[in-house]
Amino acid sequence: MGKQEKIVTMFNDIAGTYDVANRVLSMGIDKSWRNKACNKTFELYNQKEIEKVVDVACGTGDMIMFWKQIAKENSITLKNIIGIDPSVGMMDVGKKKLPDVEFIEAFATDMPLEDESTDIISISYGIRNVVERQEAFDEFARALKKGGLVVISEFTKNEKTNPLDYLTDFYMNKILPTLGGLISRNKEAYTYLPNSIDEFLTKDNLCKELKQAGLEPVHVKSFSMNISTLIIARKL
C-alpha cells in the first residue's frame, strides 16, 4: 500500500468522529477561518452567479456547508457544488448531511472535471494529505476557468520566532494527538496530522508551487497565531 492509500484508509477509519474532533481541536476557531476564506473568495471573484464550485479533499462536506451558507448571505447563486475526496467513509458522512450535493471519489491529482469548467476550487486542511502536491496544483489549473480561483486553507510550518510559536507547536504535537485520539479512538491518525505538516508546507513554498502551475497568489493571510494560512490564487 502506497503512502497516499494509507492516508485514505486512515481517514476512512476516523470518519464517524471526524467532525466532532475537528471542532474540539480547533476550539471552534476553524469556523471563523472557513468563513473568512469564503467571504474573501466571493469578494475577489466578484460575480453574483457562479457556475461551479468544487471542494477537493471535501471529507464530510464541512467546507461545502460554508460555501452554501456564505453564498446565501451574499446573495450569490451557486449553480453547482461538488465534493471530491478519495475517502468513501468520509463522504458517506457528508452525503447524510448534504443529500443534495454530488460527491465524487477521486484524488486531487486526477479529477473527473472537464478542462476550464470550474470557477472555484477549494481545499481546506487537505493539501498536506496530498502526496503529489505539484501534480494536484497542475490539475487544479487544468480544471479552472481562466480567472478562476484556487482557495487553500492549511496549517503551515512557521519559523519559531516568539514564545507563542512554541505554544502552537506544543499544542499541535502534544495536545492535538492526545485529544483527537481520545475522541476518535485512533491516536495514530491524530499523531499523523501534525507530522503531515512537513517542512515544505510553508507559505512561500505553496505560493511557489502554485505559480509553477500558472496560479498567481492574490491573497495570502495567516490567522490565530499563524496556525492557519489562507492562500487564494487566480488562474492566469
Retrieve residue 112's grid coordinates: 473527473
Rounded to the nearest angstrom, the gap between the alpha carbon of residue 134 and the centroid of all alpha carbons in its chain is: 15
pLDDT classification of 3: cutoffs 50, 70, 90: confident
Provide the angle, in degrees to the nearest 10, between the axes of the packed helices 18-25 and 176-184. Answer: 150
Place of cell 458522512: 93
pLDDT attached to residue 110:
97
**Strand positions, DSSP E, 90-130:** 102-105, 118-124
Does the structure show a pLDDT above 70 at 23? no
Nearest to 229 by CA among 204, 212, 199, 211: 204
| Sheet with strand 215-223: strands edge to edge | 102-105, 77-85, 49-56, 118-124, 144-155, 228-235, 215-223
Enter the C-alpha cell of residue 126.
487537505
**CA-CA-CA-CA torsion for 194, 210, 4, 193, nearest 10 degrees?**
10
Q: Indicate the average pLDDT of the chain.
A: 87
Q: Who wins on pLDDT, 139 or 16?
A: 139
Write out pLDDT tens, residues 54-68: 999 999 999 999 999
Tell whether 178 is covered by a domain. no
Domain assignment present for 86: yes
The three cell numbers of residue 167 are: 505554544
Q: Is residue 66 part of a domain?
A: yes
165 is in an annotated binding site: no
Instruction: Give me the CATH number covering residue 110.
Output: 3.40.50.150
CA angle, 127 as apex, 199 and 213 as ends, to 5°? 90
- For residue 27, the tally of other CB atoms under 10 A from its CB is 10
Residue 102 has pLDDT above 80, yes or no: yes
- Residue 110 marked as a ligand binder: no
Confidence of residue 125 (pLDDT cuts 50, 70, 90): confident
199-231 pLDDT, tens per residue?
Answer: 567 889 999 999 999 999 999 998 877 778 999
Asked whether residue 117 is marked as a ligand-binding residue, the answer is no
pLDDT at 195 over 70: no
The domain total for the chain is 1
Q: SS3 for 153? A: strand
Cell numbers 469578494 correspond to 43
Domain that holds residue 104: 29-156+200-235
C-alpha span between 166 and 156 (Å, rounded) = 14
Q: Is residue 195 within 8 Å of 116, Cβ to Cβ?
A: no
156 pLDDT more than 90: no
Q: What are residue 151's phi and psi, to 5 degrees?
A: -120, 110
Check residues 15 and 63 and name the one with the higher pLDDT. Answer: 63
184 domain-assigned: no
* DSSP, residue by residue, 206-235: HHHHHHHTTEEEEEEEEETTTTEEEEEEEE
Indicate the pLDDT class of residue 16, thresholds 50, 70 and 90: confident
